[in-house]
Amino acid sequence: MLTCQEVLDNLSCYLDGEGSEELRRELERHIARCAQCFVIVDTTKQSLRIIADCEPFEVPLATSARLYERLAHFFAGLL
Amino acid sequence: MPNRKYSFSPAQDEDGPLVERTLEGDRQAYEQLVRKHEKRVFRTTIAILGELADAEEAMQETFLKAYQNLHTFRRDARFTTWLTRIAVNESLQILRRRRDTAALDDPETAPQNLRPHRVEEWYANPERHYAAAELKRIVEEAIRALPPTYRVVLLLRDVEELSTEETAAALGLSIPATKSRVLRARLMVREALAAYFEKPPTLRSRLRRATSMVRNMMAMALERPGGWFGGR
């Protein structure tokens, strides 16, 4: 049986669906028995879903506008 | 299981045709590339620099440099990886101007202890407890609290969904270094979000944790040959 530390070390493998079948089975087995690791794996997975869904750090409109202005200015200088 | 070795052929780059047209002098093609990639470039520069004004400057420089150097783009990676690499370098240059040193592998910013502290369960669909704008603020705050190298790794890997290999290439880090940063970033951000999403501890949850800890130790001791309870 894997230790809690080993589960933590291999957390990304598990979340990204990487690693060998055997490792994944071992991880599943540990998580099924260990309430603490279950919470850590489950809440890390939820964290990543929430982060991706809320599209953090979008380009502010004014920042975007100034980018196109600068590019237009640059291209005009090339003419 | 697919072969996860990094292999890339230019035909796989969906931006290939726009890159070609830009090189032929088509500026609208370049504008399309900018529109498509400004989000990713901005996330990269804001992650490294933290300040909007700096991130904006780095983004502008990135798109100007990319245009001027497009002829040097060897198609051994996707355009977006090449572009992100430029964004990283532009950001680091600005950072260097502001501080004495700036590197993404600064060991001093690496938190030593990975052990999670918050281990209470979360509410089901915890994001529904907050309005969208509030949720976004919480998430951005949690990411801002990470050291820059972890911020950028998390945004590239888990928001922009670059592969580990592409994230490593964009940041100029080795694959093992990238993997270890991704893991730490994920655990750190989980810890920060737990403050908002976890249920308050109950006597039952504490008991369940203690029981599972004991059961776990017993199981490991029994399974381990020559384990904790003496020799074979």
Tens digit of pLDDT for each residue in B47-56? 999 999 999 9
In single-letter form, the type of residue at position B98 comes to R
Which amino acid, one-letter code, is at B65?
K
Q: Assess contact for B194 and B120: CB atoms under 8 A.
A: yes
B227: its two tokens: 């384990």
Q: Which CATH number fits domain B114-200: 1.10.3720.10, 3.40.50.300, 1.10.10.10, 3.40.50.880?
A: 1.10.10.10
Chain-chain contact of B63 with A67 (C-beta, under 8 angstroms): yes
What is the share, in percent, of chain B residues with pLDDT greater than 90?
65
Using a CB-CB cut-off of 8 Å, the residues of chain A touching B155 are 56-57
Q: How many CA atoms lie within 13 A of B70 on its CB side?
A: 23
Is A42's CB within 8 Å of B122's CB?
Answer: yes
Decide if B198 contacts B120 (C-beta within 8 A).
yes
- Band of pLDDT at residue B33, cut at 50, 70 and 90: very high
Residues 6 or more apart whose CB falls under 8 angstroms from that of A2 comprise A10, A26, A27, A29, A30
- Residue B193 gets which letter from DSSP? H
Q: Which of B92, B94, B12, B79 is nearest to B40 (CA)?
A: B79
Give which of B8, B12, B145 is closest to B76, Cα–Cα: B8
Q: Which of B56, B115, B119 sits opposite A63 (nearest CB)?
A: B56
Q: What is the CATH number of the domain that holds A63?
A: 1.10.10
Distance from CA of A4 to the nearest CA of B (A): 9
In this prediction, residues B194-214 reach a mean pLDDT of 85
Q: Chain A: give the shortest CA distance to residue B158, in Å.
A: 7
User: What domain count does chain A have?
Assistant: 1
A64 at B interface, C-beta within 8 A = yes
**Position A24: which residue type?**
R
pLDDT tens, A9-33? 999 999 999 889 999 999 999 999 9
Q: Quick one: pLDDT at residue B206?
A: 82
The pLDDT value given to residue B114: 75
Task: Determine the residue of chain A that is closest to B218 in CA distance.
Answer: A1
Q: What does the pLDDT average to over B126-138?
A: 94
Q: Chain B: give the shortest CA distance to residue A27, in Å.
A: 13
Token digits for B5? 């070795």
Query: Cβ of A63 under 8 Å from any chain B Cβ?
Result: yes
Of B100 and B23, more confident: B23
pLDDT-derived band at B1 (thresholds 50, 70, 90) equals very low
Structure confidence at residue B2 (pLDDT): 42
Model confidence at B4, pLDDT cuts 50, 70, 90, reads: very low
Smallest CA-to-CA distance from B193 within B120, B85, B87 is with: B120
- The answer for residues whose C-beta is within 8 angstroms of residue A39's C-beta and 6 or more apart is B119, B120, B121, B122
Q: How many contacts (CB atoms, under 8 Å) link A and B?
A: 138
**A57 vs B52: CB contact, 8 Å cut-off?**
no
**DSSP β-bridge partners for residue B84:** none
Pick from A47, A53, A58: which is nearest to B193 by CB?
A47
Banded pLDDT at B11 (limits 50, 70, 90): low
Which range marks the domain in which residue A13 is found?
4-78
Which of A46, A48, A58 faces B122 most closely, judged by CB atoms?
Answer: A46
Q: What's the rounded mean pLDDT across residues B114-127?
A: 89
Does position B232 have pLDDT exceeding 90, yes or no? no
Tell me the whole-structure pTM to 2 decimals.
0.85
- Whether CATH 3.30.390.10 fits B6-102: no
State the pLDDT at residue A48: 97
Residue pair B58/B91 in contact by the 8 Å Cβ criterion: yes
Per-residue pLDDT band for B225 (boundaries 50, 70, 90) equals: low
Q: Do A54 and B136 touch (CB under 8 A)?
A: yes
Verify whether the Cβ–Cβ distance B64 to A43 is below 8 Å. Answer: no
Which pLDDT does position B218 carry in this prediction?
A: 77
Instruction: Label residues B27-62 b or e (16+ Cβ within 10 Å = b).
Output: eebbbebbeebbbbbbbbbbbbbeeeebbbbbbbbb
Q: Which residues contact residue B172 at a Cβ distance below 8 angstroms, ignoring those fewer than 6 apart?
A: B85, B88, B104
Average pLDDT value over all residues in chain B: 86
